[in-house]
């Protein structure tokens, strides 16, 4: 099943709708979806390394746009949708402390959490809830999300075929490591939040 999913994403890279699918996952991840876009970005960059920079740009723009949705959820719908999503991810009792930290460390919170496996949707929703500057939220999101996605795309572009061989020969191990990092991000966010 894992190999079929991987092959589906590799095949998706050849379709005209590839960018749209990647954008959809990227935008959704920044506001409510639990799966990071790397699950599509990595195989798509491996399948089409000449499009790696384009895919990184798509992820960045879509992630920032999705982040604006998350920000709006926090600013306008926190008592209903925002609180539900935050509690769904297990951070409901920590939002007030996180919102207070924005007063002193808001820029650093967005910059650091945007490149880590810590769920970015928590940052976007809480940024809206804390009424953090929308201008700085967008600027810092572009920087941090761009750095993350362009780093991944750049590594895959430069490593190229050897990355593909490594991943395809060890797909189960790579998936396990990716899952551990993602789950670790949720756990770290729970304790650092």
The closest of 181, 185, 186 to 86, measured between CA atoms, is 186
Interval 126-146 mean pLDDT: 93
Q: Are 128 and 76 in contact (CB under 8 A)?
A: yes
Band (pLDDT 50/70/90 cuts) for residue 8 is confident
DSSP state of 170: T
Strand, coil or helix: 130? coil
Buried-state track 106-132, b at ≥16 Cβ within 10 A, e below 16: bbebbeebbbbbbbbbbbbbbbbbbeb
Band (pLDDT 50/70/90 cuts) for residue 71 is very high
Tell me how far CA of residue 107 lies from CA of 74, 102, 127, 144, 181, in angstroms. Answer: 17, 8, 10, 11, 24
DSSP state of 16: T
What's the confidence (pLDDT) of residue 160? 75
Interval 25-33 mean pLDDT: 88
- Residue 29 pLDDT > 70: yes
- Residue 107 pLDDT > 70: yes
Arithmetic mean of pLDDT over the chain: 82
What's the confidence (pLDDT) of residue 140? 95
Q: Are 120 and 113 in contact (CB under 8 A)?
A: yes
- Residue 87 pLDDT > 60: yes
- Residue 189 pLDDT > 60: no
- Residue 55 pLDDT > 80: yes
What's the confidence (pLDDT) of residue 182? 62
DSSP state of 117: S
Q: How far apart are CA 69 and CA 75, in angstroms?
A: 10
Band (pLDDT 50/70/90 cuts) for residue 185 is low
Angle between helices 120-129 and 52-76 (to 10 degrees): 40
- Residue 190 pLDDT > 60: no
Whole-structure pTM over 0.85, yes or no? no
Q: How far apart are CA 134 and CA 142, in angstroms?
A: 12
Q: pLDDT of 143-175, one tens digit each?
A: 999 999 999 899 889 887 777 677 777 777 777
Q: How far apart are CA 60 and CA 38, in angstroms?
A: 12
């Amino acid at each position: 099943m894992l190999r079929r999913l991987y092959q589906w994403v590799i095949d998706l890279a050849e379709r005209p709708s590839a960018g749209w699918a990647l954008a959809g996952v990227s935008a959704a991840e920044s506001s409510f979806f639990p799966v990071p876009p790397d699950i599509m970005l990595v195989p798509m960059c491996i399948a089409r390394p000449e499009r790696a920079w384009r895919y990184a740009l798509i992820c960045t723009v879509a992630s920032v746009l999705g982040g604006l949705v998350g920000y709006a959820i926090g600013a306008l719908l926190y008592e209903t949708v925002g609180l539900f999503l935050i509690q769904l991810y297990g951070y409901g009792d920590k939002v007030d402390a996180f919102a207070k930290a924005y007063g002193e460390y808001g820029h650093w919170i967005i910059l650091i959490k945007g490149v880590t496996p810590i769920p970015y949707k928590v940052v976007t929703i809480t940024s809206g809830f804390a009424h953090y500057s929308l201008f700085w939220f967008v600027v810092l999101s572009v920087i941090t999300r761009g750095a993350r996605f362009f780093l991944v795309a750049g590594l895959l572009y430069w490593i190229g075929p050897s990355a593909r061989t490594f991943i395809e020969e060890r797909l189960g191990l790579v998936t396990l490591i990716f899952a551990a990092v993602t789950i670790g991000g949720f756990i770290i966010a729970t304790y650092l939040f």
